[in-house]
Amino acid sequence: MREVPFSFEIQAPDYVPTEYDNHIQRKLSSMRGQYLNQDAYGDMLSRDDVLLYQVYELKRPEIEGELLHGISIVHPGKVGNEYFMTKGHYHTILETAEVYFTLKGQGYMVMETPEGDSAIEELAKGKLLYVPPRWAHRSVNINPEEDLVMFFVYPGNAGHDYGTIETQGFKKLVIEKDGKPDIVDNPRWTQPEGK
């Protein structure tokens, strides 16, 4: 791993970085239990294990002081009426933030805290989103035609905690209603204990 400054390019139209170390491809089968409409999920999976999103990461030491960074690409589509989205996670070290800069497409970042606070911010080309420490985050692509492409950067020691979200999802869901995105309560979600 290089210990000298380096640079690379992230260019339209596909925004795949000219340098990367890991290429993660998350398919429908890795999202079991995440979409509200389980029948639609099962039907879709029986036809094809669709590619939902991809992440290109540059490898850096996972220690305080380093910055992990790369590109995430969420493809367009829906499971039932719920848009394609990332799994979503808390950082293992809760007190670590993250920055997302949208390069292409349209979507929402769905966020919440362990105390049950919830927030949703629009993602659109040219917009920068700051996700403060303690906020779990999931990106959702609401454009039926286009990829949602974002550059992200976060502390090297942050780590990923997927378990909490896998268990109960996020408090809010982004679904399509009458041809438009709509934000609704997740009926599976419950207030965290003692909050």
Binding site for ligand S6P (CB under 6 A): 26, 55, 72, 86-89, 98, 137, 139, 152, 154, 160
**Region near Zn ion per CB under 5 A, out of 33-41, 92-100, 121-129, 170-178:** 92-100
What per-residue string of b and e applies to 177-190 under the rule 16 or more CB within 10 Å gives b? eeeebeeeeeeebe
Kind and range of the H or E run holding 165: helix 163-168
Which segment (30-38, 45-53, 98-106, 143-151) binds Zn ion by CB under 5 A?
98-106
3-state secondary structure of 18: coil
Phi, psi of 43 (to 5 degrees): -60, -45
Q: Say which entry of Zn ion, ligand S6P, none residue 152 contacts (CB below 5 to 8 A, set by partner kind).
A: ligand S6P
**In the complex, minimum distance from the CB of residue 36 to ligand S6P, in angstroms, rounded to a whole number:** 17
Q: Which is nearer to ligand S6P, 84 or 180 (CB)?
A: 84
Given Zn ion, ligand S6P, none, residue 75, with its beta carbon under 5 to 8 Å by kind, binds: none
Using the minimum distance from each CB to ligand S6P, give the nearer residue, 31 or 175.
Answer: 31
What are the C-alpha distances in Å from 47 to residues 39, 125, 137, 184, 193?
13, 33, 29, 28, 39
